[in-house]
Amino acid sequence: MIGYIFLGCLVCFVFGSPYIQTNLELSTPIIQQVTYPIDHAEGPSWDARKNILFYVDIHTGRVFSYHYNTSLVHYITLNGNVTPVVTSENNPNLLIVGLNRSVVAVEWDGTNEIGNQRVLTTVSEEFPTSRMNDGKADKEGRLWFGTMGAENTSTGALTPNNGVLYKITKDNLDNPAIEIAPVNISNGLAWNSANDLFYYIDTPSLTIVEYQYDDVNGTISNPRVAVNIRSFTNLTGSPDGMTIDIDDNLWIALYGGGAIIKADPKTGELLQVVALPARDVTSAIWGGPDLDILYVTTSRVSLTSDEKKYYPEAGSVFAVTNLFTKGRPVFNANIVDNI
107 marked ligand binding residue? no
The whole-number pLDDT of residue 27 equals 67
Q: Give the tens place of pLDDT for each residue, 146-189.
A: 999 998 766 668 999 999 999 999 999 999 999 999 999 999 99
The whole-number pLDDT of residue 153 equals 63
The whole-number pLDDT of residue 339 equals 87
Q: Give the tens place of pLDDT for each residue, 21-31.
A: 333 344 699 99
> What percentage of the chain exceeds 90 in pLDDT?
89
140 marked ligand binding residue? no
Domain boundary assignment for the chain: 2-246+273-321
Rounded to the nearest integer, the mean pLDDT of the chain is 92
328 marked ligand binding residue? no
pLDDT higher than threshold 80 for residue 104: yes
The whole-number pLDDT of residue 155 equals 67
Catalytic, 240? Answer yes
CATH fold for the domain made of 2-246+273-321:
Neuraminidase (2.120.10)
The whole-number pLDDT of residue 284 equals 98
pLDDT higher than threshold 50 for residue 243: yes
307 marked ligand binding residue? no
Choosing from 57, 134, 138, 240, the catalytic residue is: 240
Q: Which residues pair with 31 in a beta bridge?
A: 13, 320
The whole-number pLDDT of residue 16 equals 38
131 marked ligand binding residue? yes
The whole-number pLDDT of residue 154 equals 62
The whole-number pLDDT of residue 10 equals 33
Are the C-beta atoms of 45 and 143 separated by less than 8 Å? no
pLDDT higher than threshold 90 for residue 2: no
Query: By CB neighbour count within 10 A (0-12 exposed, 13-18 middle, 19+ buried), where does 134 fall?
Result: buried
300 marked ligand binding residue? no
- What number is the average pLDDT over the span 231-235? 97
